[in-house]
Amino acid sequence: MQNSGFFRSAQRWVSRTPERALNQAYEAAQMIVAIEREYFGGNPISTRYGSYGDSAMAYFQGELKKYLNLIKVRMVVFRASRSVVRVSDPRMTEVQLPAAGSDELAVSVIDQQAMFFRKLQLIDEVLARYADLDASPERVITLANEGSGSLEPPPSTQVLRSKATQARSSGPNLASQNGAAAAVTNPLNPDGTRAAGLSDRVNVLPRSILRTVDRIRQDLDPNAEQEVVKEFRKSKSKTTAAIRFLLLLVIVPLLTQQFTKTFIVGPVVDRLRAGAEEADVFLNIEMEEEALHELQQFEERLRFEVLIGKAPPLSELNIEQRVRSKATEIEEDYRTRSASAVKNVFADILAAAAFALLLITRKQDVANIKSFMDEIVYGLSDSAKAFIIILFTDIFVGFHSPHGWEILLEGLSRHLGFPANRDFIFLFIATFPVILDTIFKYWIFRYLNRISPSAVATYKNMNE
């Protein structure tokens, strides 16, 4: 008996999977509709229809993506289970609803298929409104492009769920009054209004004309001066914070590297090398060859000066003593350089950790820097943009760039005490600038060509 009850409950759960998945997707769609009605005037969730700050828009975009992903996943479950399991609920469902003008409950008959159609239509409408979100996700635009207005705090999940519940409560009344035909032919929002179709979302006039009219309206607004001052203060505070954080990103790693090398890593390395009986003077063969070449040059110069009479005559014993003294001096010098290279490795690791810690803990400042850089780059003239692009591409991926990369890699290897592997350097120069050049071209084609086509045309003319 227990097994039969378990199998019946499992069968009941499986048979209700399509309806359960559809209801979950429908609730997520109504959550999106609730946000649109409450904070965007019934329009799609976009910076075009809401004057909110970066934090609020990031919250709205996060909620939108979360509910859209939930809708897509539950609709996949609905379609898969619907193709296997037949919905076991009757075609006609009786529910108790409050009667008009009284507190008593009345029995109303609702067509189950009409309810399914209505839920599917609302889900399709929501997905259609945000069909291009995955292909070109909307970014939170910078302060220069934001509309004026006060920043409202982002709504909590409980508030959104309560609004969605209120919107969902009008569904059975609407279906019982209008019937299945009205539900199929007239797509409705949860509050009973007609959903915005594709023709409703397309503006009749060009957007440039609408933006011009909106700018004139803002100029004629009596509170325009206060809004301009407010926006200027906000922009000034963001710019100051971005510059301050940029200085921190440069100063903090440098101070960390010097402080740890002098007071933490340095004493530890010196003590370990002093305690070792045979500490290596040279970390690699290149340092040893440099020291030998330096000693040979000293001996040859000394003998040459004696031969031309610039130095007093010296015996072979005196020359050997002076060469031995120079060899001891060179040994101490390279021992210090080897110890400094070891210290640089650990100090640079700690400096990189400090830099990463700043980026992780100061995400809002990172967003301010990104907005600040976008304003600078995209605010330049077309010729200035083309000039900067040509300058950077010629430096990093141009014809003479391999010499610069070779000097940088050799200096880095010398700083860390590693041997300058010529094969690795040549392989790096043959691959990395090519990757950078591809990234530059993709950025120009994908973003700059869409944002500023005239700058791309200027860049092509200057590059030719």
Express as a percent the part of the chain with pLDDT over 70.
Answer: 73
CB–CB of 166/189 below 8 Å? Answer: no
The predicted model scores a pTM of: 0.52
> What is the distance between the alpha carbons of residues 265 and 257, in angstroms, rounded to a whole number?
10
pLDDT-based confidence at residue 154 (cuts at 50, 70, 90): very low
Q: What pLDDT sits at residue 10?
A: 67
Q: Any idea where the domains of the chain sit in the sequence?
A: 2-202, 205-366, 380-464
> What is the distance between the alpha carbons of residues 17 and 375, in angstroms, rounded to a whole number?
50
The CB density around residue 385, as the number of other CB atoms within 10 Å, is 21
The CB density around residue 70, as the number of other CB atoms within 10 Å, is 17
The whole-angstrom distance between residue 64's C-alpha and the CA centroid of its chain comes to: 17
Q: Is 80 helix (H, G, I), strand (E, B) or coil?
A: helix
CB–CB of 56/153 below 8 Å? Answer: yes
- pLDDT, one tens digit per residue, over 200-238 is 444 555 666 777 777 777 777 777 778 778 888 888 888
Q: What pLDDT sits at residue 133?
A: 57
R_g of the chain, CA atoms, integer Å: 36
Q: What pLDDT sits at residue 327?
A: 93
CA contacts within 13 A on the Cβ side of 324: 6
CB–CB of 104/51 below 8 Å? Answer: no
Q: What pLDDT sits at residue 352?
A: 95
Nearest to 156 by CA among 50, 242, 264, 38: 38
